[in-house]
Structure 1
Amino acid sequence: MNARPTSGEGVVVAVTADPVLRQRWRDCAVRAGTHLREHGSVATARGDWADAGLVLLGGDLAPAAAQARMPRTATTILVAAGPLDIATFVAAEAVRASYVVVLPVGADWLVQQLARYATPVLTQLRTADVTVAPATSTACT
């Protein structure tokens, strides 16, 4: 994940204060070969949000994003770490989310969405049937 898009459609912004959710979508991003610009609050994400092709918004910060009236992006996915309830869908509508997904159940689906934003080199390698996986700590020693 060395090639990092600077702006536009290739930028994926991920916003949550929930460490469990953050780790789950990081795992999905690694599987997809996609770089995430991560933020722990809606306020710190504002600058990146407007330029993002995709925003992953943690359910924990959806009310704050709605209140802050974040700019519309090409695609916003509301990502929840637990069971869905009516409040989740109300929040999704308030932030104009295109999709709602629950992790870890929806991890494979999220990987597919993130793969659309993968760096070109990784995409080419996967197309050529080359296995691409993150290095393990034992491989680096």
Structure 2
Amino acid sequence: MTTTRREYVLQALSERLSTLPITFKRNDPLPERVPADGLLILRDGEMGEPEVLLSPLTYSWEHEARIELFVAAPTAAERDRQMDALLAQLGVLIKANPSLGGAVEYAEVQAPKFEDIAPEGAAAIRACEVKVLLHYTSSGPLD
């Protein structure tokens, strides 16, 4: 079975994200509890409308993948510190190899969006969403 360009790109991003010191999942539902080391969920996101070039027919994508980060700690200060450290590591990871090993032309990290969650009977959670724009080309919309 042949892997599509889209899946190849998402696998390249997944491989890099899985090196972070946090539990990594892809497209999983939100768990009831956040692991002690935190949780990162990569969502495939939206591919958007491609720019189509002719001769040869080429689809140029700006694929918007989403990274969801979750940390749980007893105090707001600790949650903030953990989230800041994870975001700094994520930034270094993408900056060090913005082509994801040649899988994309460029991976561009967007500004984070934060949310605090207080589930009943569990430690408070600091959540963050980071969009990553993945610039790449394919020979068709399903390739």
Which protein is bigger by CA-based radius of gyration?
2
In terms of fraction of residues, the more helix-rich structure is: 1
TMscore range, shorter length = under 0.3
In terms of fraction of residues, the more strand-rich structure is: 2
Structure 1 length normalisation: TM-score? Answer: 0.26
Structure 2 length normalisation: TM-score? Answer: 0.26
